[in-house]
Amino acid sequence: MGLNLAQKIIKAHLVEGSMEAGSEIAIKIDQTLTQDATGTMAYLQFEAMDLPQVRTELSVSYVDHNTLQTGFENADDHLFLQTIANKYGIYFSRPGNGICHQVHLERFGKPGKTLLGSDSHTPTGGGIGMLAIGAGGLDVAVAMGGGPFYLPMPKIVKVNLTGELNPYVTAKDIILELLRRLTVKGGVGKIFEYTGPGVATLRVPQRATITNMGAELGATTSLFPSDQVTREFLAAQGREADWEELVADQDATYDEEIEINLSELEPLVAQPHSPDHVVPVRELANKPVDQVAIGSCTNSSYVDLMRVAKALRGKQVHPNVSLVISPGSKQVLTMLAQNGALADLVQAGARILECTCGPCIGMGQAPPSAGISLRTFNRNFEGRSGTKSGQVYLVSPEVAVASAIAGTFADPRELGEYPLVEEPESFLIDDRMILEPGHSDAEVRRGPNIKALPLQEALPETYRGKVLLKVGDNITTDHIMPAGAKILPLRSNVPALSQHVFQQVDASFAQRAQEAGGGLIVGGQNYGQGSSREHAALCPMYLGIKAVLAQSFARIHKANLVNFGILPLEISAEDYEQIAQGDELEFPNLREVLEDNKGVVVAKNLQDGTQITFRYELSERQVAIILAGGLLNYTKNKA
């Protein structure tokens, strides 16, 4: 029996376990990436391992999130990241060079390699046939130290693409269609592998858009084959030597199959406040728009922005609309400047931002109160834009530019002839903003905002704690640990950052947690979806949270909870309804129960005397990590 592409790459990198869906495996990691919102903590964790150099084939540190320097904090963190990269053998992409996923695709990604990144949209690399997975910073630190990455063996879903996209229908519409069908929980524990005759009609930037937003399905990762289209892209980047053909065997089998006829798709839009709240844009026609933002790691490629520039040439942004554009990389921005497209954008009234994540993570360009913002981004969670009442819709660049001109939601097919944009035969190659690492005796510079790495104590024999907060379904890491221009600069200062945990949900949470000496959180389905930010586990740990009791967990966040010694327990829908905020639960003989590893934990609700049975799905290794109080303690104990 043949292997599919995901199985081939996993088999080539398998260190422990067997490729049976659901069982824990460990894979060797070839490359890592970090960004500055997660990187500072990841490198503090790497330092704690006391290794002289990274042990990967390639590790890259990007600065693309915290670039707005309203105080010393972000600038100090950038110096720390640059100097620690120089010391430990890590490439450093300077501020302004671009968004990590776009730059890594352009300059470093290789078909068939494994990539682990401290950002949930690392699967962008699947657009060129990489097995690229997002994870918490601690997992990435371990991988930089040469350790394998552990995960449950995913199911492999075959997405068979047929037909061809019609003009003004885009790769964004393909992934929005999948989200419409499957929801944000539909990809948990799965890898989406794209096959079929429609694949050959999609260029690498289009494929990368799809794999990037596969994260919104909750998927482990997504990937395309490495074919002649991939070869042409890498050749245009001056990296044809990095190409190799990688396709599934003809007799490959899959756990599930999905059919999408590209010819039947139309322009789509995800409505507030979830990427799976998808409808055709025609259903929103003539609804007024306040802001349009084009860019992010999902849709900021050269081809995307050239098509926007051509649509805007000779036209003007509607007077009621603020249009902002953030190119994905310095390569893209420079090429737009050289061919005159940048002038078309500026003359039309667009505001040009840095080559960064920017508005996508609430770093500037917050919409007005209750304002409608159309964004070519990947997430539209409530408050993520920086305006809690903001109404954010996710769209393709084509829908975005058509709406920016009209001042209302507009079907781009009404723009007329579809602008023809070819991928260049040769991209502009200038890597001077990427610094090669230096020597192991290099000095590391640390600003006063960089605080010591907090650690969790070992799990106690018996635990008693109050339910400090009860929340509903689809709680995101933005709910748990907000981002934005005011909070992101504190990422390397956990004591200060922890004061903002659940700030949007309950502003009193941090204070109550500290006064109670910690406690428990109760959640609904898909707890912890969204960003990979490990601070959504690290800061609750700092506040004394010992367990999260939820109906189900998002993959990366569950792993982060384990890494920081917080026990993820699954609760039934019936018991969820019975537990109230303020209830006190007692877990007798907790260490002994976990050591037996039967998958069940029983607690007593001291409010009414009832017993509650929780289930958990943890490997023996993960249980040992919980007992030790987290992955760093576990690693030190093993050493």
Which of 533, 535, 555, 557 is flagged as catalytic?
533
What is the Cα Rg of the chain in Å?
Answer: 24
- What is the distance between the alpha carbons of residues 420 and 310, in angstroms, rounded to a whole number? 9
Does the annotation count 59 as an active-site position?
no
Q: Which letter, b or e, does each residue of 511-525 get, where b requires 16 or more Cβ atoms within 10 Å of its Cβ?
A: eebeeeebbbbbbbb
Is residue 130 a contact partner of residue 112, using CB atoms and an 8 Å limit?
A: yes
What span, in angstroms and rounded, lies between the C-alpha atoms of 29 and 140? 9
Which helix (H) or strand (E) covers residue 35, if one does? strand 31-35
Contact by Cβ (8 Å): 20, 152 = no
Residues 211/223, Cβ–Cβ less than 8 Å? yes
Written as one letter, the residue type at 230 is T
Secondary structure string (H, E, C) spanning 275-301: CCCEEEHHHHCCCECCEEEECCCCCCC
533 is catalytic: yes
| Count of beta carbons in the 10 Å neighbourhood of residue 438 | 14
Place of tokens 């999408």: 260
Residues in contact with 339: Cβ distance below 8 Å, sequence separation at least 6, in sequence order = none
Closest to 495 measured CA to CA, from 510, 515, 478 = 510
**Contact call for residues 117 and 141 (beta carbons, < 8 A):** no
The yes-or-no answer on residue 65 being catalytic is yes
From 119, 139, 242, 411, active-site residue: 119
Per annotation, catalytic residue among 13, 65, 479, 491: 65
Active-site entry in 379, 491, 535, 555:
379
Which residues are within 8 A (CB) of 638 and not within 5 positions of it... i.e. 6 or more apart?
Answer: none
Measured CA to CA, the distance from residue 196 to residue 258 in angstroms comes to 11
Could you confirm whether 322 is annotated as catalytic? no
Q: Count CB-CB contacts under 10 A for residue 64.
A: 29
Catalytic residue, candidates 30, 36, 64, 575: 64
Asked if residues 191 and 222 have their Cβ atoms less than 8 Å apart, the reply is: yes
Q: What are phi and psi of 292, to 5 degrees?
A: -130, 130
Three-state DSSP state, 352: strand
Nearest to 40 by CA among 98, 90, 4: 90
Please, are residues 268 and 180 in contact by the beta-carbon 8 Å criterion?
A: yes
Angle at the Cα of 184 (from 297 to 211), degrees rounded to 5? 35
DSSP assignment of 59-86, as one string? EEEE--SS---SSHHHHHHHHHHHHHHH
Active site residue 119: yes
The pair phi, psi for residue 288, each rounded to 5°, is -60, 150
Catalytic residue among 531, 532, 557, 583: 531
- The answer to whether 538 touches 632, Cβ cutoff 8 Å, is no
Q: Which of 216, 215, 212, 483 is nearest to 366 (CA)?
A: 483
Instruction: Respond yes or no: is residue 120 known to be catalytic.
Output: no
Distance CA(356)–CA(222), nearest Å, equals: 23
By the 8 A CB rule, do 254 and 4 touch? Answer: yes
Alpha-carbon span 149 to 135, nearest angstrom: 9
Among all residues, which ones are annotated catalytic? 64-65, 119, 379, 531, 533
